[in-house]
Amino acid sequence: MSIISDDLALALARASINAAIAAAKLVGRGDERAADQAAVDAMRAALNAMQIRGRVVIGEGERDEAPMLYVGESVGAGKGPELDIALDPLEGTTLAAKAKANALSVIAFAPKGGLLHAPDTYMDKIAVGPGYPAGVVDLDEDAAHNVKALAKAKGVNAEDIGVCVLDRPRHGAIIEALRTAGARVHLIGDGDIAGVIHCTKPETGIDMYVGSGGAGGRVGGSGVEMRGRPVPGQADHRNEDERLRAQRGH
């Protein structure tokens, strides 16, 4: 029997709702920090009011870099089930500050030991929507191969495949390979969680998400198949310490 009851799951989900409502009051104000702080404060207050013994395994950052909801922080009232919690109170702070679409408040949870303890590191990711055989795309294959494999599984030409990619210089080779293969590339400025969710919605015209981003940007459910692996050191501020944290898992 699961230690996470329906009532507890709903209460945990409400923590993200509270964060979203708090951040919504600052949408379009041009202040990323204020919007993020409002979301963090609301989510943390909700979590600390619950009868749980929670540990943040994916959060706002490392202990010395984040004032609250950092990786390794304890949340909850100190009684009740032990939970691992992955969260991002405001995914897409720039989107919220500029009143653009696809900013999200995200939370996931599992019994203690049930979630990967991921430090503030980058991750290679690839995702496709529901209805495909398991393993139709592969992180070890190049972008062109995956486009062709997905097109074959869907029964269309590569030109009919839409791929979402975060618009970053590090993705230049991926974008070029996708276009050379004939795919339509949908570039987004921020919010790779929303990019993955787009794969589940036929109306977006997006069949696959590919690229690297924060380890917190992972989505399950809705039939989406997603694969990822840590790749420390991809951004200018990433360093050897990050690589070691990823290897240690804390």
Give the model's confidence band at 60: pLDDT under 50 very low, under 70 low, under 90 confident, else very high: confident
Whole-angstrom distance, CA of residue 73 vs CA of residue 47: 12
Question: 187 and 104 in one domain?
Answer: no
Q: Is residue 132 part of a domain?
A: yes
Average pLDDT, the chain: 86
What the block records as the tokens of 223 is 């039939």
CATH at 232: 3.40.190.90
Main-chain phi, psi angles of 206, to 5 degrees? -105, 125
SS3 59: coil
Q: What is the pLDDT of residue 195?
A: 87
Whole-angstrom distance, CA of residue 177 vs CA of residue 171: 10
Question: 208 and 178 in one domain?
Answer: yes
- Tell which of 91, 111, 131 closes a domain: 111
Q: Is residue 117 part of a domain?
A: no
pLDDT exceeds 80 at position 237 = no
Question: 126 and 107 in one domain?
Answer: no
161 contacts 147 by C-beta, under 8 angstroms: yes
Question: 69 and 27 in one domain?
Answer: yes
Q: Is residue 184 part of a domain?
A: yes
Question: 236 and 126 in one domain?
Answer: yes
User: For 55-73, what is the mean pLDDT?
Assistant: 77
**1-10, 191-200, 238-247: the lowest-pLDDT one:** 238-247
Q: Is residue 1 part of a domain?
A: no
User: For 206-213, what is the mean pLDDT?
Assistant: 92
Query: How many domains, the chain?
Result: 2
pLDDT exceeds 60 at position 124 = yes
The 10 Å CB-count burial string (b at 16+, else e) for 78-112 is eeebebbbbbbbbbbbebbbbebebbbbbbbbbee
Taking the C-alpha atoms of 191, 195, 201 and 206 in order, what is their torsion angle to the nearest 10 degrees?
140
CATH at 89: 3.30.540.10
pLDDT in tens, 142-199: 999 999 999 999 999 999 999 999 999 999 999 999 999 999 999 998 888 888 889 9
Give every CB contact of residue 112 below 8 A, 6+ residues apart in sequence: 55, 82, 83, 84
Give every CB contact of residue 158 below 8 A, 6+ residues apart in sequence: 147, 148, 151, 181, 182, 183
Work out whether the CA dihedral 196, 227, 154, 163 comes out positive or negative.
Answer: positive
Whole-angstrom distance, CA of residue 204 vs CA of residue 164: 10
Share of the chain above pLDDT 70, in %: 83
Give the model's confidence band at 215: pLDDT under 50 very low, under 70 low, under 90 confident, else very high: low
161 contacts 150 by C-beta, under 8 angstroms: yes
pLDDT in tens, 9-56: 999 999 999 999 999 999 999 999 999 999 999 999 999 999 999 999
pLDDT in tens, 79-117: 999 999 999 999 999 999 999 988 999 999 999 998 877
Question: 157 and 62 in one domain?
Answer: no
Q: What is the pLDDT of residue 247?
A: 53
Full domain range(s) for residue 38: 6-111
Question: 159 and 71 in one domain?
Answer: no
Q: What is the pLDDT of residue 118?
A: 63
Strands of the chain, DSSP E:
53-58, 74-75, 82-91, 104-111, 122-128, 162-166, 184-188, 208-214, 225-230
